[in-house]
Amino acid sequence: MQILDGKITAEKIRHEIADEVQKMVSAGLRRPHLAAILVGHDGGSLTYVNNKVKACHDCGFESTLLHFGTGITETELIDEVKKLNDNPEIDGFIVQLPLPHHISERRVIEAIDYRKDVDGFHPVNTGRLNAGLPCFVSATPRGILELLRRYDVRTRSKRVVILGRSNIVGKPLASMLMQRSYGDATVTVCHSHTLNIADECRRADILIAAIGQPEFVTADMVREGATVIDVGTTRIPDASCARGYRLAGDVKFDEVAPKCAYITPVPGGVGPMTIAMLMQNTLAAARKEYYH
Ligand code: GUN
């Protein structure tokens, strides 16, 4: 069994990006600039956004954090999005999800200029992804494929089973994995109405769990020699941890790991790769790789 180490791989990628930024600066170009909008005080979202800002610093990017209270209205938030759309200093930006219930995530995402949508959530980008056209791709699916690629875990002709059909992970991941040259895999997507999920999982060469249900995947659901990717990061209150909580993945790691060829840990697996891919998307935005 080998650990797919997202922490070390992401660090390597941040160094690669920092080298590229150095070349840009030497050539007289300005540094890539990422902005993030955060609404409210959810602990998980605060940590994610702070980690994104820190990654910008590591990569030599400029960053701007816009933090609003939960009292902000949808109209006010969309005005902030429009200001970032129109700001030529900003190459790309994200609106951290989830948003408070009184704000429509769909309307906010649709207000983002798709040319600055480094999260790849805008319908232009998701549509182009499904059509196999160049576009910004959601960072978590990209991070998973990049981690597999860097450990030389091949997806071509493999049976991949994805647990979860979210817009952020399950759907774009399925789209990428089934596409020619991206993945070339045979993909099954399981969700809350799938019958006999355990049977589906046991057929997987590569099993990807993205449902946010701590320790859902148990050893009996995993084929001997499979590769298991754990996207779950649920905070479980735990007084014995200094922070007052621990992070739990969707996979019961201790019993599943011995059966696997490869497995990602939580934390230190997919999470750091997601942030590294957001940095790559921001570099691509600054270089206008997909759109002018
Ligand atoms: N919430 C959970 N994951 C993500 C992500 O990748 N981007 C944004 N903007 N919000 C998230």
Same fold, 29-128 and 139-272: yes
The fold adopted by the segment(s) 29-128 is Rossmann fold (3.40.50)
Token duo for residue 57? 């610093």
Average predicted confidence (pLDDT) for the chain: 98
Number of alpha carbons in the 13 Å side-chain half-sphere of residue 284: 20
Return the structure tokens found at 252.
Answer: 């019961």
Segment 61-68 shows an average pLDDT of 98
Cα separation, 280 vs 91, in Å, equals 12
139 lines ligand 1 (CB under 6 A): yes
Phi-psi region of 55 (alpha: psi -120 to 50; beta: other; left: phi over 0): alpha
Amino acid at 133: L
Active-site residue identified among 5, 117, 119, 230:
119
**Ligand 1 pocket mutation, candidates 140, 168, 233, criterion most atoms within 8 A of CB:** 168
Q: Whose CA is nearest to atom 9 of ligand 1?
A: 96
Global pTM value = 0.98
Binding site membership of 119 for ligand 1 (Cβ less than 6 Å): yes
Read off the pLDDT of residues 236-246 as tens digits, 9 standing for 90 and up: 999 999 999 99
Handedness of CA 97, 112, 109, 17 (dihedral sign): negative
Span from the CA of 151 to the centroid of ligand 1 (angstroms):
25
**Ligand 1: residue whose CA is nearest its atom 3:** 97
Strand partners, 190: 163
86 in catalytic set:
no
281 lines ligand 1 (CB under 6 A): no
The type of residue at 194 is T
Q: Report domain extents, the chain.
A: 29-128, 139-272
Helix, strand, coil share (%) of the chain residues, nearest 5: 40, 15, 40
Overall fold of domain 139-272: Rossmann fold (3.40.50)
When pLDDT is cut at 50, 70 and 90, the band that residue 181 belongs to is: confident
Relative to beta strand 33-39, strand 92-95 is parallel
Cis peptide before 123 (omega within 30 of 0): no
Q: Residue 226 in 3-state DSSP? A: coil
Q: Does any ligand 1 atom lie closer than 6 A to the CB of residue 112?
A: no
Q: Are 219 and 256 in contact (CB under 8 A)?
A: yes
**Upstream peptide bond of 267 is cis (omega within 30 degrees of 0):** yes
Q: What is the tens place of the pLDDT at every residue in 190-218? A: 999 999 999 999 999 999 999 999 999 99
> What is the per-residue pLDDT across 136-155, written as a single tens digit (0 to 9) for each?
999 999 999 999 999 999 99
Please report which helix (H) or strand (E) contains residue 106, including its range. helix 105-111
Query: Is a pLDDT exceeding 90 seen at residue 51?
Result: yes
Q: Out of 5, 52, 230, 250, which one is annotated catalytic?
A: 52
Q: Which residue has the tokens 């910004």?
A: 136
Q: At what angle do helices 139-150 and 6-26 cross, to 10 degrees?
A: 100
Token couple for 12: 């390597």
Instruction: Report the run of H or E that residue 85 belongs to, with start and end.
Output: helix 74-86
Q: Are 10 and 272 in contact (CB under 8 A)?
A: yes
Catalytic residue among 96, 117, 158, 250: 96
Place of tokens 């660090």: 11
